[in-house]
Each structure stands twice: as structure tokens, then as C-alpha cells.
Structure 1
């Protein structure tokens, strides 16, 4: 009976379970990352997060035992660059706007991936809902305190990175979970020099790094190592529209952890915008064709 239960908990069901854990872990890690900003800044936070996640994944998976083949390397490298770009833009966004808002805007990336896989009238209705939600998020003077437009622009750029992460993650995912480790290494190779160029090499001195390394490893595990390791497998088990439906929980989870850990309170208008974007994702991905 136990073996029968485990046999049913496989395939798409296992993928769904992995994605739910990934969502919770990612948003806890993203909220925790804000505590690093005051110490080392967003660029250095991205570099530390990816570097720590790479060390954790390499220690756990020993990916050198299964190297990507020649055809896989291109997707793995682009997948890693997408990780670095997505995280870099996202951290710049949450340094300026509430976590829930940044994730809601960033979610337009996977939403568009789902739209591209289907051509139904519900797609256009979903796009209309998403655009309405984004318009509600935009700052309007006199209605409430303005949001930082630069932060919103970074969130939109992160959406592009998230779309690339999905597309190239599926292409590279044939190599299994070890691909996440190689992709994370590629992202680290991009993020570390960028942080050194923007913030200076002095940020890599031991007296700067040692006090923040425990938190950096925690963020690397929660926000990168665990969720990316799970998602690279889940992306092969669930179709794109199912991924989109589950990922529609991300904005709500981000708003929840933003409130619990950071004390970020959204206005009624911002909550309405967030719900419209979630509804858009559910509408589009529910009726999308299976991959």
C-alpha cells in the first residue's frame, strides 16, 4: 500500500509538490535578502546568493560526475545568465518597492510564456486583466504614496529574465538536477565580476564578508539552491501552463512574507492589482494547451 501511494505521488504530482516547496522557499529567501542590502548592497547580495548557492549545490550534487554534453552547454550557459540577470534586476526592484509588488510585476514573464503556448480568447482576457493590474500598480499622484518607477522598471526587466529562465531551464533540464548547479555556476561567473565592478573589490575583503556569510548562505539556500534544484526537475514533469498556474501563488506568497518578515503593508489598490495579476495567470494557464 505504501509503495502504491508513492507510485501515485510521481510525475506531475511530484512536480507540483516540488514547485510548492520552491515557492515558499524562494519568498522566504527573498524577504531575508533584504536584510543583506543594508550591509553589502543589492549587487553584492546577488553575487553572494549565487556563489553560496553554487557551493551548496556542488557539495550536495557533485555535478562534475555528469557533465552536460556539447549540445546542452549552450542552454546551460544561457540558463545561468538568465538566473543572474533575473536576480540582479529583481534585487534592484525589491530594494525600491515592496516585495509583493515586485513579484507581481515580475510575474508577467511566466504569464507571457504561458500566453505564447495558447491562442484562445481567454488569453486576451488574461492579458487585459494583467494590464489592468499593472496599471493599478503604477503610481498615481494624489491617490496614494508613489511607488519608485525605477523599481518597477527593474521588476519588468526581471520578468524578461524569468521568461528566459523558464524557456532555457526546460531545454537544459534534460540533464537532471545537476544542471541547476552548472547553471548556478554560470550565473555566479556573471554576478561576481559585476558586483566588483559596481561596488568595488573592497567589498570582497574578509572583514566585510565574514559577518554576513551566515545570512548569505541562508539566502543562497532558501532563494536559490533549494528552489532552483527543485524547479529544474519540476519543469520537466509539469507542462508550462501548470507551471504558470502554480507560480501565480508567488505574488501572494511574496506579499505574505513581505508583511511577516519586513513589515511591508500593501494598500487596498495594490492588493486589487495583485489579485488581478493572479487571476490573469489562472485564466491564461488554465486553458493553455499542454506542451
Structure 2
């Protein structure tokens, strides 16, 4: 049992779970626009997510404690290096214009982790995008929406029409909603200067905001041309499940509540579409 827990913790801490969620959203985009399964773009997104998330999460730790790193962190570093190599392998198989768009999101991820801003903006010494008051959730949602919607369609030479833009905005709303349980969980630990959503409006209003975001997410499905019953039903189910998890989220939630159950909703969404 202990070994299984260690494997599961590695699965979460090494960002494999979140990478599968991003992978799932990108695959959903291909299915929604009737585009063929694209191994290169999907696997690039998967390995890029692991590399990017681990860079953001562990950059500071590795920078200042390199010689005294715990064994688990050293393993994650080696795993991230392998994913970076695989990322490069799939990157050379992508369209040039796709790589240009990817570089934009990669630059945002870099700024998200690396200190570069004036110290007077912060209460701590991080000086990166994630430390700017109220910005973190929207940066994450913007990157997720851009990577999982625009990158697959651009690489498939699909026109960036109104349906694509609606899907991107819809994805943005969903990711912001998915971030709310994380924001509630971290309420006791986040610096007040971060100005997170629960800090600004309280927990109950944050949950009501989640309702509004998910209502917009579901209704936007009806704005698209050529409505597909499978996508409408699956989106509504995902919206309902997400709302339930937001409503039951609290500051002292379980260890895996947000990191596994909430973050795994895109995987459930993909499986639902494939089953239907």
C-alpha cells in the first residue's frame, strides 16, 4: 500500500495528472472540429505541460537547494529532463507557424516563474507574474485556452473562425472555474497582496462566481454553428460536476480534492465524449 501511495504521489507531484488534463482538452478540440488525431501536437502538449509545470513549481527550490535536494525532487528533475527531450522530438514535427504560437505561451510560462519585476510590487521576493495581485488565475486560464484550442487547430491548418474563438473563450471560463477550489484551498497560505478571488470577495461569493462562469461555459455551446448533441450534453455534464466540486470545496479540503479530483475533470470530459 505504501508503494502504491508513493507511485500515486509521484503521479501528482511530477505533473503527469495535470498534463493528462491539458492533453485531454487538446484532444477534445480536435474532436469538436472533426480534425484527425494528431500525435505530434498532442504529445508535444503533454510533455510541454510536464516540463512547464515542473519548471514553475520547482525552479526556486532547485535554484537555492541544489546540493541538498530530496531524492523525490531529484527523480522529478530527471523525469522532467526526459520529458523536455521528448518535447523537443515532437516539436520538430510541428508546423513552423505552430512553433511561433507556442513560443508566445512558452515565454509567458517563463515569465510566470522567473523573477523580473520591481520589488515594490511584492511582499515577497518572487517578483514574477504569478505574484502579481489577482493575475495568477487569468494567466493560467489564458495559457490553457491558448494551448488546448489554438495550437491544435493552427497545426491542422484549420481557419481561426468564430467557432474557434467561442471555444477558446469557453475553455477560458472553464479553467478559471476549475481554479476556484485551488484558490479556496490556499486561502490560509496565500499572501494578501496576491489578491486572489476568495480574498477579494469571500468564499461564498467565489462559489457563486463559479456558478456564473459555468453557466456561461454551457450556454456558449449553443452559440456555435452545427450544434452537436454529444458535445452539448458532455459540456453540460462537465459543468454540473465542476459546480458540485466547487460547492463542496473548502479551506481544509483533503489532500487530493483539488490536485486530483478537480484537476481530473478534463480527463473525465474526454472519456465522456469518447464513450458517447
- Band of TM-score, shorter chain: 0.3 to 0.5
**Whose helix proportion is higher, 1 or 2?**
1
* TM-score (normalised: structure 2): 0.35
- Higher relative contact order structure (alpha carbons within 8 Å, sequence separation ≥ 6): 1
* TM-score (normalised: structure 1): 0.34
